[in-house]
């Protein structure tokens, strides 16, 4: 006689999760999972951007450019102006050394002569944005050096003029800067054997 178990086995139906064949295989096999990831990434990349998103990016870039570009151009112009200021100062110091040895200033030098190291001041002035000239109405006591922009509209930088004067055994030097890009800078210098040397800026800002 067969013995009957008092316990009955009851089977509960389980709902299977709806996995695709590819996904379930990837979960079961780690190697296939790595093959699935590039496919999903490529599918997401093909989605692209909407027209509104592109317009927002363009507007933001325009706002940033409007605020940053003027400051950037201003810094570039200031960097170019260093050439003008340094050139005028260098010529003034060379004139002072020349006068100290020989008793008068170099009365005239053109831009091309200043680019020749064999000029009277023995000074080589290599410039890219400015043209330098030296002049004097009284080489015994005064001399003027000018730095004019080669292309004022393009470079958007200011002009410079400097001068040196000798009087009563002392020297005085001035450096003038125009108020606006491409504007006028004019130095006024005077000196004599019996009066003190005086320098000033008739037009522009006195930097020294």
DSSP of the chain = -----SPPP-PPP-PPP---HHHHHHHH-HHHHHHHHHHHHHHHHTT---HHHHHHHHHHHHHHHHHHHHHHHHHHHHHHHHHHHHHHHHHHHHHHHHHHHHSS---EE-HHHHTSTTSTT------SSEEEEEE-S-TTTEEEEEEEES-HHHH----EEEEEEEETTEEEEEEEE-SSTT---EEEEE--SSS--EEEEEESEE--
Alpha-carbon distances of 23 from 15, 16, 46, 167, rounded to whole Å: 18, 14, 20, 96
Neighbours of 144 (CB within 10 A): 24
> CA 42, CA 208: separation in Å to the nearest integer?
66
Instruction: Read off the pLDDT of residues 68-103 as tens digits, 9 standing for 90 and up.
Output: 666 666 677 788 899 999 999 999 999 999 999 999
Looking at residue 5, its pLDDT comes to: 47
Looking at residue 7, its pLDDT comes to: 42
List phi, psi (to 5°) of 47: -70, -40
Task: Taking the CA atoms of 73, 79, 80 and 82 in sequence, report the sign of the dihedral they define.
Answer: positive
Looking at residue 44, its pLDDT comes to: 53
When mean pLDDT is compared across 14-18, 139-143, 152-156, 159-163, the lowest value belongs to 14-18
Instruction: Read off the pLDDT of residues 96-143 as tens digits, 9 standing for 90 and up.
Output: 999 999 999 999 999 999 988 899 999 888 888 999 999 999 999 999
Instruction: Read off the pLDDT of residues 40-55 as tens digits, 9 standing for 90 and up.
Output: 555 555 566 788 888 8
> CA 30, CA 183: separation in Å to the nearest integer?
74
Neighbours of 104 (CB within 10 A): 15
Per the listing, tokens 């509960």 go with: 12
pLDDT at 16 over 60: no
Beta bridge partners of 142: 165
Alpha-carbon distances of 27 from 21, 37, 128, rounded to whole Å: 10, 12, 68
Mean pLDDT estimate for the chain: 80
pTM for this prediction: 0.66
Residue 1 — pLDDT band, cuts 50, 70, 90? Answer: very low
């Amino acid at each position: 006689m067969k013995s009957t178990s008092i316990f009955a086995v009851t089977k509960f139906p389980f709902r299977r999760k709806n996995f695709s064949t590819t996904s379930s295989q990837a979960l079961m096999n780690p190697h296939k999972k790595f093959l699935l990831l590039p496919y999903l990434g490529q599918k997401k990349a093909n989605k692209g951007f909407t027209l509104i998103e592109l317009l927002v990016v363009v507007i933001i870039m325009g706002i940033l450019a409007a605020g940053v570009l003027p400051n950037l151009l201003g810094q570039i112009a200031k960097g170019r102006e260093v050439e003008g200021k340094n050139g005028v100062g260098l010529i003034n110091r060379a004139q002072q050394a020349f006068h100290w040895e020989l008793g008068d200033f170099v009365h005239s030098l053109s831009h091309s002569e200043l680019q020749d190291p064999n000029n009277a001041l023995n000074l080589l002035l290599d410039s890219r944005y400015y043209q330098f000239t030296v002049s004097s109405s009284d080489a015994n006591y005064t001399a003027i050096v000018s730095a004019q922009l080669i292309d004022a509209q393009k470079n958007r930088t200011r002009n410079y003029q400097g001068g040196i004067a000798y009087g009563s055994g002392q020297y005085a030097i001035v450096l003038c800067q125009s108020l606006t890009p491409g504007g006028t800078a004019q130095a006024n210098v005077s000196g004599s054997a019996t009066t003190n040397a005086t320098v000033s800026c008739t037009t522009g800002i006195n930097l020294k």
